[in-house]
Chain A
Amino acid sequence: MIEISGRWDYYYTLTSVALLSIASSGVWLTFYIGRINIGQGAYALAGGYVVAILVTKYDVSFWLSVPIAGLFCSFVSMLIGASILRLRGVYFAMITLVLTEVAKLTAMSLPITNGAKGISSIALPGELSIFGIIIIPDFSTLANVKLAFYYVAVILMIFVFAGMYRLVNSRIGHLCRSLQQNEELASSIGVNITILRIIAYSISSFLGGIGGAIFVSISQSVYPTTFQVADSINFMLNVFVGGMGYVFGPMIGTLFIYFGWDLLFTTGKYQLLIYSSIIIALILVLPNGLLSLRIFNKSNKREIK
Chain B
Amino acid sequence: MSTILEINNVTKKFGGLIANNDISFKVNKQEILSVIGPNGAGKSTLFKMISSFMKTTSGEVLFEGKRISNLAPHIVARMGVVRTFQETTIFKTMTVRDNIIISHHLRSNSNLFGFFIGSSTARNDEREFARSADELLEFLSITDIGNELASTLPQGHLRTLGIAIGLATNPKILLLDEPFAGMNHDETMHMVDLVSNVRDRNVTVLLVEHDMSAVMKISDRIVVLNFGELIAEGTPKEIQENKIVIEAYLGSEDDSIGL
Contacts and interface: CB of A to CB of B under 8 A. Distances in A.
A280 interface: no
A177 interface: yes
Helix, strand, loop or mixed for chain B's interface? helix
Given A185-B89, A185-B90, A190-B106, 15 more contacts: A170-B116, A171-B102, A174-B101, A177-B91, A178-B102, A181-B94, A182-B92, A185-B165, A187-B77, A188-B82, A188-B85, A189-B105, A189-B169, A190-B74, A192-B74
A29 to B, nearest CB: 13
A189 B126 contact: no
B122 interface: yes
A86 interface: no
B112 interface: yes
Contacts of B115: 170-172
B118 A187 contact: no
B172 to A, nearest CB: 13
Interface residues of B, number: 36
Contact of A181 (B53, B78, B92, B108): B92
Interface string B92-123: 11100010011101101000100111100010
Contacts of B85: 184-185, 188
Interface residues of A, number: 22
B81 to A, nearest CB: 10
A166 B114 CA distance: 12
10 contacts: A167-B116, A175-B105, A184-B85, A185-B91, A187-B73, A188-B82, A188-B83, A189-B103, A189-B106, A189-B169
Interface of B: 51, 53, 72-74, 77-78, 82-85, 89-94, 98, 101-103, 105-106, 108, 112, 115-118, 122, 125-126, 165-166, 168-169
- A interface, over-half SS: helix
Contacts of A199: 112
Interface string A139-170: 00000000000000000000000000011001
B151 to A, nearest CB: 10
Interface in A202-223: none
Contacts of B116: 166-167, 170, 172
A191 interface: yes
